[in-house]
Structure 1
């Protein structure tokens, strides 16, 4: 008897089971200062969710595992605490095993949590062991000298010796609403600050954040599919409502404590903390409206702070990775908006100008600063969607990443780990450079996609909107016009037009179903200049939608686009934009798939929403104008209704399901037909394999039906 031939693997199935081709790819690199080791995370295969902690020995030219979760847990399933689940949701972490780790200054000791238990790994020897401490453990971090490990557990910040002895709590919660050493919701979700404590360079003290959630209003997220279960209580700081109270204290290992003082009334947001041997502790604190911020130095003897530098902006001040920090000779490193450009500033000098758009600081050496940047407003012949790594000093900027594409890097001393993606090959290649010369590569075990993306990257319209156009595989010049699928994110911090193959795989799959797919990064997305990003101030509904329309019409003259059949899909801000498109411009858009859309900005969080729209109690008309559930939101005539599918995870604690329920109620009251697809037990990430696969299939079916394909 012969077996049935296996069916070829479909892209939706592969896309789901590989978690968007992220499984098996190396990430989270650390380089030892002596240049002998590179440490990283990678699972053992393209469908294996469990990350292993690996060491690449550059001198011996070999890789070896330092911590394998299967061995450490004895094959048992991971058990995650509520705090750890929340941390992973904030960081959009869908994998398992060792999902994060921290190292000492020499990169010889690593600490990490598995199933709420604390483990350390000796990186030179490749051995790992558990430390018996109270749990569940979150965010363990070794001291710089490797003698101690600090971690958060049960609301307390605790410290244990690296040999497992002497566990104690330098700070314990006073009540049920207080925690030490953990980032509050909006710091992790919106400020890109996932940490809540920082070791002193001498390993004798910690700066620790104390968070009191008592002022934050409580929301209740139920699971309607399981009515016997109690709703989950969530402290959610919605726009215009109180935030958590965040303070900072210096906790010495001798048991003493010094509270850090700054004007928390004026600058309540603790956005960044930096503590290195090159200077005193640095804080970056922001006003609630994010139009002013201060760089503070801390006197560790008294807890007093001094303003080192202050910034103001009439719209808002952006936060960046890797700054603030000190140079080895004690100068402040920051990223600033200056004369229409985003520049790197060291001390009192800007070291870059309008040819570069600086995105983050990657490393600070004695002779240069390593940054990531894209083309600035005055770049010569900028390539659309490219991002590069540069070495910058007083003499200028030198590009480290030579090939076209999208690049990132980690560096320590003479060794740089350079990860590079391009449009003509899947995944990312990882090369290890010493003094600029390649000495090793880090293998990826990620699966090769079953289809090949063929995006055309260009700028469209009078504004030069960055776009990616994806046509069906095998499409030939002269073929008839194609129905169009706009596939944007389209909002702040969400760049979709990048010179990387895998970024366009889903768009290619949709194209292969018979669409011309257009991805347009309009104003508000992180491209080119501060002015481009800040054009959405107070005006989500106008600027971002106008740019989708402009890009569509501009591209119609160059590509076979059927403007009589235009659909749009998106998730999160992209879901908001998709719903907005068919409600405000039914003359242009004929169907929409809105996934986890923000429909009422009064229901979204403080730090994000108020940055762009202000306080709802002070500017209610701005919120009404940008909402989908007000009369302003439903502004097109009722007879011009367009099909809309709204998708939402009922367990979403970021964009809660109330957004979709309010939109559905408003549409029903206005007599507008629509479909709602509720996802039981699904959060904002949709990591479940079957859900992720079937969502793609259901969207295609809806779009084909709605556009008459």
Structure 2
């Protein structure tokens, strides 16, 4: 590989936002099977997504349904603070139309641009603005397409889509600490629930979440580079502190209001809401310790709820996509941890077994359920890093996707949109199937990466830890051992060992700098079995043990120089990297820790209490798992290893206090380290120059620390 290519990858990677720009995404299939709606930017370096329609009845012709440049008259997009926060929670770095919602027939789409409300007529290919108060957040059409509901200033409002228009609030907040129709912080950040209101199938009323965050502790995030600016006020529910109070009400378009009742004291977390013609509104609510959950059906006349099902688990109950739901004939669809496996349950019957590890429901049809799943524990070795799409019904299980890769799908009726990322080719290929037969493809405009991974997917150690190993493309057998760089996330909800090309590009770039790069998904990582994921209950430090086991297990098969081992990571991976050099300096000789969780009491309730419980009930557990209370900091037998701490000062997820407290503890213990503050950067690093230079600075630090030329 040439020097030019080595230097150009960080710039290309940053400019293309990790090669995500130009990739088609967010697919919706119309019920009649004639249209597929999706988002895609015009090129691999253009951030502004357009709304597109693929006409299957017109030979698979693509056309633009909404162009942000035209709708805004060429003006730059201006995001209101509420939209910036929503995009941060969803890790959205693109611009233009980043999300949309459709009516029941998929003929009308609603979306926000610069805080303004727009609708697109998908058959006609026209788009127009609805003049309503702004900024507009999360607009969603009614199933019949006559109205659009949206959030503005903490109120839920409804606008007509017809010629007569009309706009009015359905409910307004009682005070500045109350909002209607929005997801609270932990729902959006940790539960995977980004919505706060749901239309009735009949379009005559809505279920609306009311959030009161008066009791949530306030934090202040300042910009030290601009001392003239006021700090941002953030309601952040840190572990052991009060959450926002969340309730639900039914609001009729005729002005009626009915409050929904359940035991919110015992089950304060509103995790999921489902409302379809298959049955009454369905809620999934969790206890604060997340060991008990209720599936509740709502009586829309009275607001009373009845328990449809209750789940219990001694560790925690995982929240998964697409469930709960009703089948068209009224049976409950859920995913459960039963018999040591994660299975799909419809009604009272489990339709899968330990052969599959079900990861989410993609669609509930008349005759079957479309699911995302990986191989169960027994077949895992043959399909390391793969995720497939399956049809599951009373007649059995059938795989829809083919070949190694990461596959996902969207379906309506006979039409399925299948997206496949494979290890041997860049990007994602999107095919449209009708009754299982290909009828169209959706083009990707993403740039082709300047490098390709030299990837080996394997398992390591007695626990058969899934691993990816990447060597320099010019490496030849007999060249001798290479310094090692572990590049993990290593924690819950963050699978990194994937049978796809693009997820390993950064690791390959580090390999080109002269490293053998190892990525390992130890206990706690998703995709294997419930027991594997839940082994970290109370013991997040097990993730470090598994990195060591994976490293040593690979040393006899790959050219790894165990005398020169570094580790890098971000977020949980940053926590793992810092812990590696502090607790196992006998194994790790340098680390780059980006946005590390250091004082675990500073992280949010829903995440941290799931794994470690309440701080006041288990202070010793928090102390054992936190970095700033690490006994190894002051242990004279533990040699100091080079450590670079990197943190965005505008991060409102893992706040910069984590790194500042860790730096203070290291200084007090006489431990040398470096701190790289990123001004104006949040938990993401979407800024092109920051993202590029961050990679270059990391490789320079690692080479210096390991004594490499």
Q: TM-score, normalization: structure 2?
A: 0.98
Distance 1:633 1:150, change over 3 A: farther
* Residues 205-252 of structure 1: CA deviation (Å, up to 9, x unaligned): 000000011010000000000011110000000000000000000000
Distance 1:256 1:98, change over 3 A: same
8 Å contact from structure 2 (residues 538, 612) kept in 1: yes
Q: Could you tell me which residue of structure 2 aligns to residue 3 of structure 1?
A: none
Q: Could you tell me which residue of structure 1 aligns to residue 651 of structure 2?
A: 652
Once residues 236 and 538 of structure 1 are traced to their aligned partners in structure 2, the CA distance between those partners, rounded to angstroms, is 23
SS in 2 for 1:378: helix
Q: Could you tell me which residue of structure 2 aligns to residue 144 of structure 1?
A: 143
Once residues 169 and 540 of structure 2 are traced to their aligned partners in structure 1, the CA distance between those partners, rounded to angstroms, is 46
SS in 2 for 1:179: strand
For 1:88-127, list aligned pairs within 5 A.
88-127=87-126
* Residues 335-387 of structure 1: CA deviation (Å, up to 9, x unaligned): 00001000000000100000000000000000000000001123376310000
8 Å contact from structure 1 (residues 585, 636) kept in 2: no
SS in 1 for 2:704: helix
Once residues 665 and 95 of structure 1 are traced to their aligned partners in structure 2, the CA distance between those partners, rounded to angstroms, is 36
Q: Could you tell me which residue of structure 1 aligns to residue 23 of structure 2?
A: 25
Q: Does 1:520 align with 2:501?
A: no
Once residues 85 and 380 of structure 2 are traced to their aligned partners in structure 1, the CA distance between those partners, rounded to angstroms, is 44
Deviation at 1:572, TM superposition (A): 0.1
- Aligned-residue CA RMSD (Å): 1.1
Q: Could you tell me which residue of structure 2 aligns to residue 702 of structure 1?
A: 701
Deviation at 1:478, TM superposition (A): 1.3
8 Å contact from structure 1 (residues 624, 630) kept in 2: yes
Q: Could you tell me which residue of structure 1 aligns to residue 633 of structure 2?
A: 634
Q: Could you tell me which residue of structure 2 aligns to residue 404 of structure 1?
A: 404
8 Å contact from structure 2 (residues 380, 528) kept in 1: no
Deviation at 1:162, TM superposition (A): 1.0
Once residues 166 and 41 of structure 1 are traced to their aligned partners in structure 2, the CA distance between those partners, rounded to angstroms, is 29
Once residues 7 and 77 of structure 1 are traced to their aligned partners in structure 2, the CA distance between those partners, rounded to angstroms, is 32
SS in 1 for 2:150: strand
Once residues 675 and 152 of structure 1 are traced to their aligned partners in structure 2, the CA distance between those partners, rounded to angstroms, is 44
Distance 1:205 1:633, change over 3 A: farther
* Residues 564-596 of structure 1: CA deviation (Å, up to 9, x unaligned): 000000000000000000000000000000000
Q: Could you tell me which residue of structure 2 aligns to residue 36 of structure 1?
A: 34
Q: Could you tell me which residue of structure 2 aligns to residue 624 of structure 1?
A: 623
Q: Does 1:228 align with 2:228?
A: yes
Once residues 634 and 357 of structure 2 are traced to their aligned partners in structure 1, the CA distance between those partners, rounded to angstroms, is 37
8 Å contact from structure 1 (residues 51, 96) kept in 2: yes
Deviation at 1:637, TM superposition (A): 3.2
SS in 2 for 1:51: strand
Deviation at 1:639, TM superposition (A): 5.2
Once residues 501 and 441 of structure 2 are traced to their aligned partners in structure 1, the CA distance between those partners, rounded to angstroms, is 20
Q: 5+ residue gaps in structure 2?
A: none
Q: How many residues align?
A: 703
SS in 2 for 1:612: helix
8 Å contact from structure 2 (residues 359, 527) kept in 1: no
Deviation at 1:631, TM superposition (A): 3.9
Q: Could you tell me which residue of structure 2 aligns to residue 52 of structure 1?
A: 50
8 Å contact from structure 2 (residues 209, 248) kept in 1: yes
8 Å contact from structure 1 (residues 638, 671) kept in 2: no
8 Å contact from structure 1 (residues 417, 433) kept in 2: yes
Deviation at 1:635, TM superposition (A): 6.4
Q: Could you tell me which residue of structure 2 aligns to residue 246 of structure 1?
A: 246
Q: Could you tell me which residue of structure 1 aligns to residue 300 of structure 2?
A: 300
* Residues 504-525 of structure 1: CA deviation (Å, up to 9, x unaligned): 0000000000000000000000
For 1:444-483, list aligned pairs within 5 A.
444-483=444-483
Once residues 105 and 432 of structure 1 are traced to their aligned partners in structure 2, the CA distance between those partners, rounded to angstroms, is 20
8 Å contact from structure 2 (residues 5, 450) kept in 1: no
Deviation at 1:479, TM superposition (A): 1.2
Deviation at 1:166, TM superposition (A): 2.0
Deviation at 1:394, TM superposition (A): 1.4
Q: Could you tell me which residue of structure 2 aligns to residue 190 of structure 1?
A: 190
* Residues 304-344 of structure 1: CA deviation (Å, up to 9, x unaligned): 00000001100000000000000011000000000100000
